[in-house]
Chains A and B, each alone.
Chain A
Amino acid sequence: MTAAAFQPTAIPAPVSIPVREILPWAIFVALVAFVAIYFVGVEEGAFSVFNGMYVHEFVHDGRHLLGMPCH
């Protein structure tokens, strides 16, 4: 904030975030997103982690309307 006070312009130039700072978060998010999208989009369709069809049937309408192949 003190540095910003000395800036003459209203909009400071964007400061990029170092890639090495982003990378661990990127891997973490990619893993969590993969699991989330897998259970909404694929589970008990082409692949099954659980037996039965409960997950598939529960998210059935979402899977169709989000454009993913269902049954």
Chain B
Amino acid sequence: MIRTLLIRGMLVGVVAGLLAFAFAHTFGEPPVDAAIAVEESHSHSHDHAAMSMAADAAATPVDPAAVAAGAPAAQPAAEEELVSRPVQSTIGLFTGVVVYSAAFGGLFAIVFALVWGRMGSSDPRVVAAVLALVAFIVMVAVPQLKYPANPPAVGDADTIGIRTGMFWLMILGSFVAALLATFIQRGLSRIYGTWNATLVAGAAFVVVVTVVMLLLPTIDEVGADFPAAVLWQFRIASLGTQAVMWATIGILFGLVTQRALRAR
């Protein structure tokens, strides 16, 4: 049974990835291109400083020591040429979104297997839909409130380590809060009923997540002159991509597993 759920979860993830790619390509690429245009118009940007350094290194006779020293600085310069924009916005975006979505489809199947028959409805379609909605809130919506998606040209290359760490820590915090809320809901529902227990669990989730958000540092690297409309369009497109992915997983997983689960 678990094997069936897992295979279907990953296939559903791939389908969700195809739809999310279509959404991201249609609505996400225009603001990405607009942000790259802003990036290229700024001569003081760090990428361009690195690029001019690399250009200087290329112009001077090759000195092994200078090449070794210049190697890390030369990397941002290479990013203009290494993968072209048409490849990044099609095959690259496709690969990234589909791999990501298939991975979450597999993880979704495992969580579904743990929840099925233990919590919620006896209709697999309802369980899958509710679980996907919860996953979207816990893994995407809540973490994005603290660390929203940023388009190219926003973000200092020197802080990528701390930004990556804080981003995943926020997701972990939200996940642990949801786990805690689940145990509270299960513990209290026998005494106070499902509705009241769910309300208390929801409140506990909000409190824990708020504390995590207050403890983690605020990161704001959006330039003062970055166009607000482009930032808004990018973030809405990013959230929409995730919404399409999770909605597809939630609806499709229930449809393709209901017969297998009822035939037991």
Q: Which residues of A contact B (CB under 8 A)?
A: 1, 4, 11-17, 19, 21-22, 25-26, 29-30, 32-33, 36-37, 39-42, 45-47, 52-54, 56-71
Q: Is the CB of A65 within 8 A of B117?
A: no
CA of A40 to CA of B96, assembled, Å? 5
Interface residue stretch chosen among B163-171, B175-183, B197-205 = B163-171
Interface hits, B48-92 → A, CB 8 Å: 75-76, 78-79, 82-83, 87-89, 91-92
B107 touches A17 (CB 8 A): no
CB neighbours (8 Å) of B103 from chain A are 32-33, 36-37
Given contacts A22-B2, A29-B110, A69-B160, contact A62 B95 (CB under 8 A): yes
Interface of chain B, main secondary structure: helix
- Give the interface SS of chain A, mostly helix, strand, loop or mixed: helix
Q: Is B161 an interface residue (CB 8 A)?
A: yes
Interface centre among A4, A25, A36, A69 (most CB of B within 10 A): A69
**One of B184-192, B206-214, B247-255, B256-264 contacting the partner:** B256-264
Give 5 CB contacts A-B under 8 Å: A52-B82, A53-B79, A66-B242, A69-B164, A71-B79
Give Cα distance in the complex from A67 to B93, angstroms.
13
Name the residue on A nearest B109 (C-beta): A29
Write out the residue numbers on chain A whose beta carbons fall within 8 Å of the beta carbon of B152: 60, 64, 70-71
In the complex, how many angstroms separate the beta carbon of B52 from the nearest chain A beta carbon? 17
B130 within 8 A of A: no
Besides the known contacts A17-B2, A65-B238, A68-B164, 19 further A-B residue pairs in the complex with CB atoms under 8 A apart: A19-B114, A21-B1, A22-B2, A26-B114, A29-B106, A30-B110, A36-B100, A41-B100, A52-B75, A53-B79, A58-B96, A61-B96, A62-B24, A64-B238, A65-B149, A65-B237, A67-B242, A69-B147, A71-B160
- Let me know if A57 and B116 touch, CB within 8 A: no
CB-based nearest A residue for B127: A14
B173: CB under 8 A from chain A? no
Q: Are B262 and A11 in contact (CB under 8 A)?
A: yes
Provide the residues of chain B in CB contact with A52, threshold 8 Å: 75, 78, 82
Chain A hits for B124, CB < 8 A: 14
Q: Which residue from A22, A39, A60 sits with its C-beta under 8 Å from B99?
A: A39
Q: Is the CB of A60 within 8 A of B92?
A: yes
